[in-house]
Structure 1
Amino acid sequence: MITREATEQDLAILLEFEQGVVTAERPFNSTLIEGEIHYYDLKHLIQSPQATVIVAEENHEIIASGYALIKKAAKDYYQFKEYAYLGFMYVKPEHRGKGINKVITDELISWSKSRGINEVRLDVYAQNESAIKAYEKAGFEPHLLTMRLKA
């Protein structure tokens, strides 16, 4: 397996992965609309100097993805001015459980550090226990839980 930065030639498979992310998240989010949803502007993320999209390949087949995007801190009272936000973490079902997500996460963290970014964040649904365990193995810890009420 190798990892590399995604290119625009990878967009077709990455758009399929995006729908895989949506499908995986639907059970955790009853507020999502039906049908195809696009969370990301993948072409922009691939082209942006403030982002990287990493893919994992095995036998010339893309099997996993993730991105890091440098964002400005939302509040001026944080100890950091910028942070890296990770998203689009997807591994094809037949390749799960092999540590591929950790490899991509480590690559994204390294990319962030190489740009002087030491604060790395991501979002995960509170009910998604397997994802939480995977991110905890990668060194992440819970930070904030968003609560909602349908009134």
Structure 2
Amino acid sequence: MTIRDATADDIPAILPLVRKVAAFMQDRDPHKYTIEGDVGERYRNWLGGQIASGRSAILIADAAGRDDPPAIVGMLIGTVDREIPIYRLKEYGFINDLWVDETYRNEGVARQLVTEAIERFTRLGVEQIRLDVLLTNEPARKLFETCGFRPSVMEMLLPIEPVPST
């Protein structure tokens, strides 16, 4: 298994994994994660810009051999985001998405992706890395805790039904 930077050529192979993350999140909490349209297509150009910026951690787990075409079985999408101007911290790393195909889970692939993202954000000079994890996603919570993350805030959500117009 090779953990490496994603390239623009990898984007078509990353998009199915993005779709899986989105479907998982929408299934677990449809009020928070209601997806419009094809999330993969919506990511396509954005990912290209993030990769080109050099200020991100877009990583893939490639299970192919040295001379084989890429076999992308996992990915992590991390960005450098700006903090609002009232805080000393100006920017932070944010892990937006993490996915490993089911057949490669429990083999340390996700941990390798997170570890590499931490190293990448450190090299980019950020002082903090954040992420969101569903309260019901115990495996992900345990993974992130063993990688050094700690709970910080608890986001709360109140769905409000639209008021019919008269």
Counterpart of 1:24 in structure 2 is 24
For 2:104, the aligned partner's letter is H
TM-score (norm: length of structure 2): 0.82
Q: Which runs of 5+ in 2 are unaligned?
A: 65-69, 161-166
1:15-58: CA deviation from partner (whole Å, max 9, x where unpaired): 10111101221222222147633474221221112213111111
Residues 27/70 of structure 1: CA separation in 2 closer, same or farther (3 Å cut): same
TM-score (norm: length of structure 1): 0.90
Asked whether the 8 Å contact 1:89–1:101 carries over to 2, the reply is yes
Considering only aligned residues, what root-mean-square deviation do their CA atoms show, in Å? 1.7
Within-5 A mapping of 1:1-151: 1-31=1-31, 32-33=34-35, 36-38=38-40, 40=43, 41-59=46-64, 60-77=70-87, 79-151=88-160
Partners of 1:129 and 1:75 lie apart in 2 by 33
Q: CA deviation at 1:81?
A: 1.6
Q: Which has the larger radius of gyration?
A: 2
Partners of 2:47 and 2:60 lie apart in 1 by 12
Question: Percent of counterpart pairs with the same letter?
Answer: 27
Asked whether the 8 Å contact 1:126–1:145 carries over to 2, the reply is no
Partners of 2:61 and 2:159 lie apart in 1 by 39
Partners of 1:125 and 1:24 lie apart in 2 by 11
Q: Which runs of 5+ in 1 are unaligned?
A: none
